[in-house]
Structure 1
Amino acid sequence: MLEKTSSNEAKAILELKNYITKQSNWIIGGDGWAYDIGFGGLDHVIANNEDVNILVLDTEVYSNTGGQSSKSSQTGSIAKFTAAGKPGKKKDLASIAMTYGHVYVATVSLGANMNQVIKAFAEAEAHDGPSVIIAYSTCIAHGIKGGLGQSGKQTKLAVESGYWPIFRFNPALADEGKNPLQIDCKEPKWEKYHDFLMSEGRYAQLTKINPDQASRLLEANKEESKRRWNMYKRYAAMDYSLETEEDTE
């Protein structure tokens, strides 16, 4: 537009065009906001198909208001309001966002795959529309064995065990007839799942606080993770080919 304008003001701006960069808008919040009290607002933003990026730091608990359980908390986890272990399931925010079709969605874990994190942020920024990146984030309320200094190791184990699968859902690929969902981790090592849970106080304490229900709740936690993993695999295997049966006849 400016190139077609002969005014001195336009020429002055064009001389500085190398210094003018695209504005990048990011909304950053925790799971208590994204999954719970602010979910309606988040849903409204991504439904409007505006070019806005959202980063959710998912600690699976209200980290900055006292450690209360949130809709992101997983089955059997101990927090305020679920002192005997949460009986319900974790809300699958990623799947909810993917149902719109036009939203870029990624789940990431820095300790598991740094390159995947960088790729997700680059793709989210490039996407012409809303994007949601959900980052697995350690928290003091997790009670990680060895302390938060073990965060890198812990976030890697979360992915390896199947507790936190990482993937990217890029709507641009669907427009090309390709499956938009790319799973970025290997098949989980389910034998490590119990080790992961027992390495965090929010789960390990359950055997002492609620011994009668501990086994059932922790097993339900694992089974729900298996269900989510199998669901993502089915999504990733779907055929998005633009060809129809009539085209192939």
Structure 2
Amino acid sequence: MPELAGRGAGWQAAAMDAPQLNPRATLAQRLLMGVVVPATNVTTEAEMADLRPRGVVNATARIANPDRAVASDADAAVVRAAMVAGLMDALDTLAPAQPDHVAIGVMVENFAGGGTAGDALLAQAAARVGCPVTVPTHATLAALVALGITRIALLTPFFPKGDAAAVAFLEEAGIAVPRVLGLRAPGPAAIARVTEDRLREAVRELDRPDVQAIVQVGTNLPFAAVALAAEAELGKPVLATNPVTYWHALRRAGVRDAIPGAGRLFALT
């Protein structure tokens, strides 16, 4: 009997030591934001983390994609094909964390096409991960509507076909794009190595009185800090794709915090 009594006391102690579980992840009481990026992307996570409100956690998954030399539109097409092939696998690695919302850090239209094809891919992605998804293109349009902008200059890291895809989704939504600068980065990883001096020079090349804003696409391009400084200097919106995507994803998920010092878009609640 003493042995049984001792065993019973042990079970009681073990029960008392069982963890008390929150209905949500302890650090993500407001929102668990999934972030999906290509494996070569080392920019999106950092730029979104800089904007993370208290009580929001970013959980990242990576799309397997090669870092290969890109010297033409044909080379870029091979890289894009690898991205679309890996997107669903990346979402599968994220799904067990049960995110509330997912920001997809890649321009879907650049490898799937816009319109029906792009919408179908996004619907498939949302079904796969089990929550709504936000992409840079839709976020950009939402930001332009929120700021009342209809005429922009566009900065990309792409070759001409990538530039054309970006212009197409904007013009189809009624946004005039009189000026485009494609930096033609020589590979997916090289996009993250474009210098801030070159990006500041690009802003100077694009800015004219006939545009209401400068907009950047291409999520591996490290443009957020340059955009913030340029916006203050020029007195007009300068929109970097990662902050714009994160802003739209937060707003769609019900987090509407104004973030001081993050630019005029994050001043909107």
> TM-score category by the smaller chain?
under 0.3
Higher relative contact order (CA 8 A, sep 6+): 2
Scaled by the length of structure 1, the TM-score of the pair is: 0.27
Scaled by the length of structure 2, the TM-score of the pair is: 0.26
